[in-house]
Amino acid sequence: MHFNAQLSQASHGHQSLLCVGLDPDPARFPAGMKGDSRRIFDFCARIVDATKDLVNAFKPQIAYFAAHRAEDQLEQLMAYMKRVAPGVPVILDAKRGDIGSTAEQYAREAFERYQADAVTLSPYMGFDSIEPYLKYEGKGLILLCRTSNPGGSDLQFETLANGDRLFEQVARLAAGRWNRDGRLGLVVGATFPAELARVRELAPTLPLLIPGVGAQGGDAAATVKAAWRPDGPIIVNSSRAVLYAGDGEDFAQKARQVAQATRDALNAARPA
C-alpha cells in the first residue's frame, strides 16, 4: 500500500496525529532493564504494545540501534510492528544522503532488509540522491527541510538570491519538480510555528513529519494550527517524553498516558 494511504488510514482509524519515536537509550531504561543493550527490542516492544492504538506512525531511529550493535534487534522490532500493528506505517529515521550507486544500497537497507514503509533522507546531495529510493513502489521519502535544533539555522536559514530561505527552496522542490509520483514528505521542526506554516503554504498536501513536541519543547497546539490541513497530513513525533515517562515497572503504562495526553492535545488543537 502507498505510504500516504497507510498514514491516512492510521490517522483516521486511531484519530491521531501522533507518531511515537523509538530512540531506545539503555541508560534511560527502567529498573530491571537499565543499561542492558540486549533489552532494546524488549523495551521498544513494550512501548509499541502500549501505544499502537494511539498513533498514526512509529519512527525508529537507526543510530540508537547501530551504536549498540543491535541491528538484529531492529530487524526483530520491524517484524514485530508489522505483526502487532499492521495498520501503523513505520518510518525508518536514518537521514541518509549519498550518490546513486550508494543510495541504492541504503534503499536496499531501509526497504528490503528492514521493510520500512518510509525513510527520512537528507536533500543536500540533490534529486539523484533521492531517486533510487523511488524505485521501491509505494514507499514514502521524507526529506529534511527545517530542523528544530539550534544549528538548524546555520544553512537552512540562508537567504538565496531569489529571496527564499534554503529550507523554502527544499519545500518548493519537494512539492514540485522532485515529487514525481507524490511520495515525498518533509521534516519540519515544531519549534518554529511560523516556518511550519510557511512550509505548509509551499507544500499544501505533503505529509509533514514534525519532531520537537515534548522533550524538545515545541507546543502541540501551535504545531497543529500551523501545519494541519484536511488534505495536508501531519505526523507529530514525540520520542523521549513518551519513552521515558516512567522509570519503574509501570513505564509502559506511563508511556501510554503521555501518548494519550499528547494525542488528545493535538486533536483538541485541530480546527472543527
- Interface residues with a copy of itself (CB under 8 A) are 23, 25, 61, 63-64, 66-67, 69, 71, 95-103, 105-106, 108-109, 112-113, 122-131, 144, 147-156, 158-161, 166, 169-170, 173
Q: Phi/psi of residue 220, each to 5°?
A: -60, -45
- Nearest approach, Cβ of 233 to a copy of itself (angstroms)? 23
Rounded to the nearest whole angstrom, what is the least distance from the CB of residue 85 to a copy of itself in the complex? 23
Q: Is 55 helix (H, G, I), strand (E, B) or coil?
A: coil
Q: How far is the CB of 72 from a copy of itself (least distance, A)?
A: 9
How far, in Å, CA of 84 to CA of 99, rounded? 35
Burial level of 72, CB count in 10 A (0-12/13-18/19+)? exposed
Report residue 220 CA to chain centroid gap.
16
- Whichever of 87 and 100 has its CB closer to a copy of itself, that residue is 100
Residue closer to a copy of itself, measured from CB, 66 or 79 = 66
Q: Coil, strand or helix: which one is 86?
A: coil
| Residue 92 grid coordinates | 525508518
The answer to whether 141 touches 183, Cβ cutoff 8 Å, is yes
Q: How far is the CB of 216 from a copy of itself (least distance, A)?
A: 8
Nearer to a copy of itself, 16 or 61 (CB): 61
Q: Which amino acid makes up residue 257?
A: Q
**Closer residue to a copy of itself in complex, CB, 101/230:** 101
Q: Which of 95, 135, 225, 254 is catalytic?
A: 95
Query: CA distances (Å), 12 to each of 17, 50, 88, 157, 238, in order?
Result: 9, 19, 11, 34, 19
- Residue 139 C-beta: closest distance to a copy of itself, Å: 15
Catalytic, 95? Answer yes
Choose between 134 and 221: whose C-beta lies nearer to a copy of itself: 134
Burial of 184 (0-12, 13-18, 19+ CB in 10 A): buried
Residues marked active site are found at 95
